[in-house]
Amino acid sequence: MSYVEASASDDPLWDVLPDGVVVADGASIVLRTNDVARAMLALSDDGVGRHLRDVMRLQNTDGQNWWDIGDPYEGVETSTGVPEISWLLPGGEEVLATARIIRERRGGPITRVGIVLRSARGRERMDRERSDLVATVAHELRSPLTGVRGFVGTLISKWGVLNDEQRLLMLETVHHDAERLGRLITELLDVARIDTGRLSLYPRPVDLRETVDRVAESCRVGTSRPIEVHVPEDPVPVHADPDKLTQVVTNLVENAVRHGDGPTTVTVDSPGDGYSRLVVDDEGEGIPEDVRRRVFTKFWKHGARGGTGLGMYIVHGLVGAHGGTLEIDSSPAGGARLVLRWPDHDPRETPPSG
């Protein structure tokens, strides 16, 4: 008895697979289907002993049958599979079908064909994410772009009427909006690079203390709320891409200022375990424990203070790419606490003993 035939009668795990599976022999006769495949294909029986053409009742949007278009037995003699293609089930639901072809030897006769049917809901979810991204980007771009166009138009049409102070104010506003657009574009590029694993990093020794002081000073300019910084007197070396580290620290501090209340407290220390630690506390409403896992997903937003919902997703990706960790807890004042652990060594090498 072959493995496939033994599986058909003896393996109870076959029917708990999440995807539909159909297996046929070298003569296109079905040897096995699982529960998911039978449900998808609306089979009245298990399909065993029937021709694969009669079991795989799929059509494309042009009304062409799966067998006529994707017959795996009619391909190139060296073919080992059929790429995943979208089809319509008898009930009209979209499904993604792919096939693997087993031969006795390269170029030899086909002995088995295994077909996997996967629900297209995953792709629909990805499509929705893309739509959400487009909608978010359009919304975020509209406000600064409207400001840039309005002020530039005014400057062009009324340059001679405006005094120097008015011109300077408008140019400063345009500059601010242009920087906001630049940050949004950077966010989108980072999302794409994190998703595809193409994030480029240029790490080297960096003083975390100096980075935190610089970021805090910059953030103080844009808020009236106090930002308290507690750092050691000595440098706190970490192994990081300086630009990415600045991006991470800036996002964490700005996030605490934007969503918290009262002062934001930033603390840096070195526990001596090969990592340095950055703790950002606020006195806001905090982040409920049951939603903390969702904070690092795309488009997560907490409260009604806007944003793209991409910031924490990007931060989490940048931290992970450096070999660090980021956790959420409650601050002593009841707000949110974000704890960043960043390696002081190249994580690809053995950490220093300690």
219 and 327 assigned to the same domain: yes
Are 276 and 212 contacting, i.e. CB atoms less than 8 angstroms apart?
no
The enclosing domain of 174 has a CATH number of 1.10.287.130
Kindly give the parts of the chain with pLDDT less than 50.
1-9, 354
pLDDT, tens only, 81-127: 888 888 888 888 888 888 999 988 887 889 999 999 988 776 666 66
pLDDT, tens only, 149-172: 999 999 999 999 999 999 999 999
What local confidence, expressed as pLDDT, does residue 304 receive? 52
318 and 279 assigned to the same domain: yes
Choosing from 158, 174, 196, the residue where a domain stops is 196
What local confidence, expressed as pLDDT, does residue 294 receive? 82
Is residue 350 domain-resident? no
The one-character DSSP state at 351 is P
What local confidence, expressed as pLDDT, does residue 4 receive? 42
What local confidence, expressed as pLDDT, does residue 125 receive? 67
62 and 173 assigned to the same domain: no
Contacts of residues 65-74 at CB distance under 8 Å and 24 or more positions apart, as own/partner, are: 66/97, 70/97, 70/99, 72/99, 72/101, 72/110, 72/113, 72/115, 73/28, 73/110, 73/113
3-state DSSP of 23-85: EEECCCEEEEECHHHHHHCCCCCCCCCCEHHHHCCCECCCCCEHHHHHCHHHCCCCCCEEEEE
The total number of structural domains in the chain stands at 3
Alpha-carbon separation of residue 203 from 138, 146, 343 (angstroms): 33, 38, 11
Choosing from 90, 119, 148, the residue where a domain stops is 119
156 and 281 assigned to the same domain: no
337 and 218 assigned to the same domain: yes
Secondary structure (3-state) at 293: helix
Secondary structure (3-state) at 339: strand
Question: What is the domain extent for residue 132?
Answer: 124-196
Choosing from 196, 225, 253, the residue where a domain stops is 196
The enclosing domain of 323 has a CATH number of 3.30.565.10
Is residue 332 domain-resident? yes
Are 102 and 110 contacting, i.e. CB atoms less than 8 angstroms apart?
yes
324 and 226 assigned to the same domain: yes
